[in-house]
Amino acid sequence: MKAAPIHAAFVKRGIAHEIIHTGQHYDDAMSKVFFDELGMPRPAVYLGVGSGSHAVQTANVMIGLEKVFLERQPRLVNVVGDVNSTVAAALVATKLHIPVAHTEAGLRSRDWAMPEEVNRIVTDAISDLLLTPSPDGDENLLAEGKPRKSIVCVGNCMIDTLRMNLPRAQAVDVLTKYGLKANNYAVLTLHRPSNVDDPVTFGRIAAALLDVQARLPIVFPVHPRTRARMADSDVGARFAAAPNLKMVDPLGYVEFLSLTSRAKLVLTDSGGLQEETTALGIPCLTLRGSTERPITETEGTNTVVGTDPDRIRAESNKAIDGQGKQGRVPALWDGKASERIVDAVMAFLAEREAAAPKATS
C-alpha cells in the first residue's frame, strides 16, 4: 500500500525505476492480491525469501539484494516501512555506497521489545534521505542527531492509496456478503507475536473481545500466523462459538477498505490501520502498549488501550454508545505524499550528483 503510489508517481514523471519484492510476505492473500488490486507491475526481481527467524529472514534478503544491487548499480534505493526487508535493503545499499531514502522515517514507539522498532532505528541511522510522514518524525530524527537537510516531511503515502481507492472500495457490497449494517459492526485485526504467541496475553484479549461482540458484531480477517496460534489454544474454539464474531480469511486491500470505511469501530495491533482510521474518521483502539504513530492519538481517532481487558471493554463501550474518539486528519495527509517523495528523491540526487567530482580525461 505504501509502494503503489510511489511507483505511480515515478511513472507519471517518466522516471525509470524497478520494484524488488523480497518475498518476506509470500502468502498470496497477504501479498500478490495487493499487487493485482493496486495496479502494480510484476516486480523486476522476486527474491522469494519466505519465512524464518528474524536473523534468517534478514540474512537471506541481504544475500539476495547484494547480488541485485551489484548487477543493477542503482542511483538510489528507496526502502519503505519497518519490516525486516527494510533494514536488510538499507544495510546492503549502504555498504555498497548506494544512497538510501527511507520512506516513513522517524517513527518511534520507544518499545525495544518490538522488532520493528529496532528496524526503524537502524534504518534511519544509515539512511541518507529521511522521508517522514508527520512532524513528530522530524523531531525524533533531530533529537537523534540527524542533520536537518537530510529530513523532508512528505506526508503519509498510505493515505494516497486510501484516497485513490476509497470510491472503488465503497462500491463493493461487502456488507451483504457478511450480513452487516453500515456503522453497526467492528473490524478486528490481530497478528503481533507479543499478542498472539503468549497464551495468557492472547486469552486476556480474547476475553474482552468476546464481551465486545455481545454488544456489537465483530468481523475478524484472520492472519495466517494468528490462525495457527488459535489452533494451539482454546481461543479458536471460544471465538468459533461466539455468535457475533465472524472469522474470515484475509481480505484484499479494496475489500478490506470497503469493510473498515463503514465500521463503527476498529480494534487492531497494526500500525497502518491506526493511520487509515484517522483518515476515515473512525474510532480505533490499538491493542498494544505503545504506538510509533502518536499523531494518530494526539490529532486522530486512535486510542492506545494495551491488552488490559477492562480498558478494551471500557473504550469499546464508549464507541458503541456513540462516544468514540473524534479527531482530525493531520497536515500533509492529503493524497499527495508520493509526489513529494519523488520531488525529494530527485532533488537529493541532483544535489548529490552536482557535488560529485567530475572525471578528468
How much is the pLDDT for 51?
78
How much is the pLDDT for 52?
84
Name the grid cell of 9: 508517481
Percent of the chain with pLDDT over 90: 88
The Cα diameter of the chain in Å comes to: 78
Q: Is the pLDDT confidence value at 361 over 70?
A: no
Of the pLDDT bands very low, low, confident and very high (cuts 50, 70, 90), residue 357 is confident
Domain ranges of the chain: 3-156+333-355, 167-320
| CA of residue 285 relative to chain centroid, distance | 16
Name the grid cell of 338: 508520493
Phi-psi region of 39 (alpha: psi -120 to 50; beta: other; left: phi over 0): left
Name the grid cell of 307: 491488552
Give 205-250 as a 3 state SS string.
HHHHHHHHHCCCCEEEECCHHHHHHHHCCCHHHHHHHCCCEEEECC
Q: What is the DSSP string of 262-316?
A: T-SEEEES-SHHHHHHHHHT--EEE-SS--S-THHHHTSSEEE-TT-HHHHHHHH
**For range 53-57, the mean pLDDT:** 91
Mean residue pLDDT across the chain? 94
Domain 167-320: CATH class, spelled out: alpha beta
How much is the pLDDT for 122?
98
How much is the pLDDT for 25?
58
| CA of residue 98 relative to chain centroid, distance | 25
* 136 in Cβ contact with 116 (< 8 Å): no
Rounded distance between C-alpha atoms, residue 230 and residue 355, angstroms: 56
* pLDDT tens profile 269-289: 999 999 999 999 999 999 999
How much is the pLDDT for 232?
86
How much is the pLDDT for 280?
97
Q: Which of the two residues, 141 and 30, has the higher pLDDT score?
A: 141
Q: Identify the H or E element spanning 135.
A: helix 135-143
Q: Is the pLDDT confidence value at 358 over 60?
A: yes
Q: Identify the H or E element spanning 166.
A: helix 157-170
* pLDDT tens profile 84-135: 999 999 999 999 999 999 999 999 999 998 999 999 999 999 999 999 999 9
Of the pLDDT bands very low, low, confident and very high (cuts 50, 70, 90), residue 50 is confident
Confirm whether 191 is a catalytic residue: yes
Rounded distance between C-alpha atoms, residue 235 and residue 97, angstroms: 49
Q: Identify the H or E element spanning 261.
A: none
pTM of the model: 0.92
Question: What is the phi/psi pair of residue 283, to 5°?
Answer: -55, 135
How much is the pLDDT for 295?
97
How much is the pLDDT for 24?
64
Rounded distance between C-alpha atoms, residue 96 and residue 109, angstroms: 30
Q: Which of 360, 358, 356, 271 is nearest to 75 (CA)?
A: 356
* 218 in Cβ contact with 186 (< 8 Å): yes
- Domain boundaries 3-156+333-355, corresponding CATH code: 3.40.50.2000
Rounded distance between C-alpha atoms, residue 226 and residue 222, angstroms: 6
Spot the catalytic one: 21, 102, 191, 223: 191
Lowest mean pLDDT: which of 45-54, 92-101, 283-292, 303-312? 45-54
**For range 178-205, the mean pLDDT:** 95
Question: What is the phi/psi pair of residue 202, to 5°?
Answer: -60, -40
Same CATH topology for 3-156+333-355 and 167-320? yes
How do 151-153 and 129-132 pair as beta strands? parallel
* 87 in Cβ contact with 65 (< 8 Å): no
- 75-93: burial string, b at 16+ Cβ within 10 Å, e else: ebbbbbbbbbbbbbbbbbb
How much is the pLDDT for 337?
98
Helix (H, G, I), strand (E, B) or coil at 112: coil
